[in-house]
Amino acid sequence: MDANTHFFYLSKSTHPLGLLESLMISSTEYAIIATDLNNRVVLWNKGAEIIYGYTCHEMLQNELPTNLHKKGSIEKNLLYLVNSPSKSNLIDYSMNAVRKDGTLLPVSVTVTPRINKNNQIEGLLIMTREITKYIYQEQCRTALIEIAHLVNSNKSIDEMCDEICNTISSFLEISLVFICLFDSSNKNFRINSCSGPCKNCKFHSCNYYCNENDVPNGEKSCFKTYTRLTINSTDLKNHKISKYIDKNYINNDNFSIIHIPLTSDDSLIGILHIVVSTERIDFLLKESQILSLIANEITAGIQRRRLVEEIKDYAENLEKMVKTRTDQLREKDAQLIQSAKLATLGEMATGIAHEINQPLAGISLITQGLILAKVRNVLNDRLLFEKLNAIIEQTERINKIIGHLRTFARQSDQTKKEIDIKKPLFDMFKLIGEQLIKRKITVETNIEDNLPPILADHNKLEQVFLNIITNARDAIEELRMKNPDKKDGKITINAHSQKNTVVIEIIDNGIGISEKVKEKVFEPFFTTKDVDKGTGLGLSITYGIVKEFDGIIEIESKEMQGSKFIIKFPAYLK
């Protein structure tokens, strides 16, 4: 028999007949091994030579070695199959084949009894297939699934890329993985994330070139990748990154680097770099579709995170703009309220002057009386003491009026405090009370005892009550002008609590408001008064202040029958 032929049966009875036998013997993808009842090798085909490294001459007629596989011996199972009365037993294994040179090769082993023409067991038929490719494919699929989970997480771009590099390195058993992101503004690439023995890799960056003649030798493979947008590779020793790698872990002579472009709509996002041993590079380059799928997931994740961060930045900027604009509006609103407050004081200047003139006139009279008593020589200590105390009382009255004017005129801050509504309500009469008396307008108050407090600002509440009472005063005066017989003017103030709400009602018997006008009374600059008698801001500001303190203001009115303003504030429950 020719030594180069692979028809390795030992006897005439086992000589292959037909096409099936020929295929079994000549197969290079499957190792096909046959044994006899003594576990001696009777068939060792070309595929067995390739997978295990032993020639047929080394194995034929010899007992099948028990250390031919790494994951334990299969001898017991082989004997079980030989001795079993069943003719259809079949056992599958996944293990490592131990090659002649000592290297390990992942294989799938199938063992089944070999039956002769008389239906008797003659030995075993063993079929072995290398599964390195399938293991790599499964690793790639698993890595792809894990990466898909990572890119849909809420991690930042840096955190996501770090974990992607670790995942590729772990699942694909790759020594070094790093991602370079393209900086379009500076026209360069920088390493964003890295996994592997390359502590100084993040100091590496390279420029983006348009002309191949300008590209340094250590960056030519990258140039091909980002200009052609295709997967490329080169020996690691020829790449610029090699000088940053720890030589104790990676020998540049036995490794290659693969560059996978990260692209979207033909625009460059970056490059995924994988440093692999020379023995694995052929598989990865052949499985470029899987590498492209991984790159697509990474690209989608980076774009999604960038979009999220852009939206977040936009939202933060928008929030800042809204806050700035809100602060500006609040400042304008405060200035408007302050202007209206000062305008109100201007309108009441005559009444306030009268309030101050009264004690001043009293002081003048007391002083004149003292002078007259002195002239008549009837001034004694008791009289002097009595008159001086009277002067002090009148002076304190003036101080209180001026002090309250200052307090009321002062611009309010934006803080809310616990307020008893009776205080701003009664303080308001210090400013307008004299005018109401002078105009013969009576005020009736019906305020419930122990009203719960509200959260508000004293000054602003006083302005609310002052604006409404001023309007009531003007409405009564307007009715008197149209109906001279209408002499009595009356304002009624009711205050009570109702279901955790403080309700204030201010009722007048003035001229009233038509339905058409009632719809506009809270609009800025709307007024029915003459130009020199109103700004049209009072009720608009009142409405804004009430809303600021989470309140509600309503109006009920009929022409010639008066008006009722109803204000409701939430009670402050401790």
In degrees and rounded to multiples of 5, residue 140 shows phi and psi of: -65, -45
Q: What is the pLDDT of residues 181-195, one digit of tens each?
A: 998 888 888 888 888
Q: What is the DSSP string of 120-144?
A: -EEEEEEEEEE-HHHHHHHHHHHHH
Q: Note the residue count of the chain.
A: 574
| Cα 536 from Cα 523, distance rounded (Å) | 8
CB-based burial label for 75 (10 Å; 0-12, 13-18, 19+)? middle
| Mean pLDDT of the 388-396 span | 80
pLDDT of 490 reads 92
pLDDT of 381 reads 81
| Cα 546–chain centre separation | 35
From start to end of 79-187, where are the E strands? 91-98, 104-115, 121-130, 176-183
Q: Give 355's pLDDT tier (boundaries 50, 70, 90).
A: low
Q: What is the pTM of this model?
A: 0.51
Give whole-number Cα distances, 325 to 322, 329, 540, in Å. Answer: 5, 6, 20
pLDDT of 281 reads 83
| Cα 275 from Cα 252, distance rounded (Å) | 10
| Mean pLDDT of the 152-177 span | 86
pLDDT of 87 reads 47
| Mean pLDDT of the 538-567 span | 88
Q: What is the pLDDT of residues 232-260, one digit of tens each?
A: 988 888 888 887 777 777 776 788 889 99
pLDDT of 496 reads 94
| Cα 37 from Cα 51, distance rounded (Å) | 24
Q: Give 334's pLDDT tier (boundaries 50, 70, 90).
A: low
Q: What is the DSSP string of 363-381?
A: HHHHHHHHHHHHHTT---H
Give whole-number Cα distances, 235 to 37, 218, 559, in Å. Answer: 51, 10, 97
pLDDT of 1 reads 38
Let me know the angle formed at the C-alpha of 99 by 93 and 105, rounded to the nearest 5 degrees.
Answer: 50
In the chain, what percentage of residues exceed pLDDT 90?
Answer: 15
| Cα 373 from Cα 510, distance rounded (Å) | 50
pLDDT of 488 reads 83
Q: What is the pLDDT of residues 248-297, one digit of tens each?
A: 777 767 888 899 999 887 788 999 998 888 778 888 888 788 888 889 99
Query: Do residues 425 and 493 make contact, with C-beta atoms less than 8 angstroms apart?
Result: yes
Element (H, E) at 63: none
Query: Do residues 389 and 382 make contact, with C-beta atoms less than 8 angstroms apart?
Result: no
pLDDT of 416 reads 84
Most confident segment among 19-23, 346-350, 491-495: 491-495
pLDDT of 76 reads 46
Q: What is the pLDDT of residues 201-211, one digit of tens each?
A: 777 778 888 88
| Mean pLDDT of the 372-382 span | 81
